[in-house]
Structure 1
């Protein structure tokens, strides 16, 4: 079983994601904050972590993901 963690507060779910949630091959957990995501990732050890948010560049030129 593949383990997936979704990070962010995006309510819109795609058809593919709904299909994955109904499959017995995947365990999907959702986290609306980075703090909760860290706890889930630490205990679950997921195969994938998917994030929703805005990708920006900070003052130093680094990419920053702003979680919705």
Structure 2
């Protein structure tokens, strides 16, 4: 059972990473400056908050038709 859960977790993580990379590519094509993926372990709280604010503004811009 634990092995199946581990495999499921690995599959979900791999899918999430691919989806994130696809969205980063879409935003780059749209003209936004999007940084490469940064490991959460390497980020300070301030950097994580700045990244979250940036992502919210990108999403808001998408919904506002910008």
TM-score higher than 0.5: no
Q: Which has the higher strand share?
A: 1
Q: TM-score, normalized by length of structure 1?
A: 0.29
Q: TM-score, normalized by length of structure 2?
A: 0.29
Q: Which has the higher helix share?
A: 2
Larger radius of gyration between Structure 1 and Structure 2: 2
